[in-house]
Amino acid sequence: MRDAVQMKVNGIAIRVPRGSTVAAAVLLAGRSAFRRSVSGELRGPLCGMGICFECRVAVDGQLHVRSCQMLCREGMEVTLSE
């Protein structure tokens, strides 16, 4: 990957194409489930455009970030709740 960004998803280092969203990075890290719902169901992205909030994750310590609306940055650390 010539133009790539190095970042971490749950502590695992990955490289993603520059311009990718955090949601794409989480999927590239092999995760389909991004979070658990209030009753404990596994959930992943639904709308892909910032409406549904199903893809929210923690980015560099900031909670509840819509991963589909944020671009990956060098050194970014994404945390999914287990």
Instruction: Tell me the closest approach of the beta carbon of residue 2 to another protein, in angstroms.
Output: 14
CB of 11 to another protein, least distance (A): 21
**Cβ proximity to another protein, 9 vs 72, nearer residue:** 72
Q: Which of 3, 41, 74, 82 binds another protein (CB under 8 A)?
A: 41
Q: Are 44 and 36 in contact (CB under 8 A)?
A: no
Burial pattern 34-43, b for ≥16 Cβ within 10 A else e, equals bbeeeeeeeb
Dihedral of CA 13/5/31/10: which sign?
A: positive
Q: Provide the binding-site residues for another protein, judged by CB under 8 A.
A: 16-17, 19-21, 23-25, 27-28, 32-34, 37-39, 41-54, 56, 64, 68-72
